[in-house]
Amino acid sequence: MKKIAIFASGSGSNAENIANYFRGSDQVSISAVLTNKPDAYVLERAKKLGVPSLVFNRKDFVYSSTVIDFLKSLNVDAIILAGFLWKVPIELINAFPDKILNIHPALLPSYGGKGMYGMNVHNAVIENKEKESGITIHLVNEEYDKGAILLQARTAITESDSSEDLAKKIHALEYAYFPVAIEAWLSGVK
C-alpha cells in the first residue's frame, strides 16, 4: 500500500476527486490533506471524506521541520500537489526526492512560473487568444514548474470561450487524468 499526502490551497476539487478515485483501493491510501490556508474549502472536503488534515503557516513550512515531521510520522510515500500555490522548499524536496507530483493547469513550459496559477493562467491564455491549452503533470524539483513532465493533455479553445469556460475544460481534464497518472506513477515509486 502506498500512502500519499495531498497538498491544496483552495477549493480542493482535485483532492476530492483523487480521494474518491482511491476509495477502497488496496494500492493507494490518502493519509492526509495539508493546506496553507486555514479557510480553504479543501478542509471541509477532507472532513467529509474522513481524511485527517493539517493547516500550516509559512514558518512551519519554510523555516521548521513541522511539515516534514508530520509527513514522516504518517510514513507517507509520496506527495501530491493538487492546486497548491506555494513554492516547495528544498528541504521538503530533499526529504521526498522524486516523490512529489504537481498538476499545472496549462501546457508547460508555456504559462508557468511565478504568479502563474489558477485563474491567472486561464486569463493569460484567453488574453493571448491561444487555440488550445491543457494540463501538465510533472515531478517537482527546485525550479518552479520545471520538473520532469509525466503527462500532458490538451483541450481546444473556441473564440467564444471565457476564462471560466477554459477553467471548466481544464478541470475536466484534471479529473480524468490526474488520479490515473498518480496511480501509474506510484506503482513505480520505491
CB atoms under 10 Å from CB of 11, counted, come to: 16
Segment interacting with ligand GAR (CB under 6 A) among 29-37, 58-66, 68-76, 166-174: 166-174
Q: How many residues at the interface with ligand GAR, by CB under 6 A?
A: 17
Cell numbers for 189: 515509486
Distance in Å, CB of 121 to ligand GAR, minimum: 6
Measured at the CA of 186, the angle between CA 183 and CA 190, to 5 degrees, comes to: 165
How large is the greatest C-alpha to C-alpha distance in the chain, in angstroms? Answer: 50
Cell numbers for 157: 479553445
- Using CB under 6 A, which residues numbered 49 to 108 contact ligand GAR? 82-83, 103-105
Find the binder of ligand GAR among 6, 10, 35, 126 (CB under 6 A).
10
Cell numbers for 40: 480553504
With respect to ligand GAR, which residue has the nearer C-beta, 67 or 170?
A: 170
Cell numbers for 9: 490551497
Helical segments of the chain, H only: 13-22, 42-49, 58-62, 66-73, 90-95, 118-127, 163-186
Sign of the four-CA dihedral 118, 174, 80, 9? positive
Distance in Å, CB of 181 to ligand GAR, minimum: 13
Q: Cell numbers 475544460 correspond to what residue?
A: 169
Q: Is 157 in the site for ligand GAR (CB under 6 A)?
A: no
With respect to ligand GAR, which residue has the nearer C-beta, 73 or 145?
A: 145
With respect to ligand GAR, which residue has the nearer C-beta, 13 or 141?
A: 13
With respect to ligand GAR, which residue has the nearer C-beta, 15 or 68?
A: 15
Distance in Å, CB of 9 to ligand GAR, minimum: 7
- Nearest CA to 132 out of 151, 109, 158 is that of 158
51/59 Cα distance (integer angstroms):
24
Site string for ligand GAR, 101-140 (x = CB under 6 A): --xxx-----------xx--x-------------------
Q: Is 14 in the site for ligand GAR (CB under 6 A)?
A: yes
> Which parts of this chain interact with ligand GAR (CB under 6 A)?
8, 10-14, 82-83, 103-105, 117-118, 121, 170-171, 174
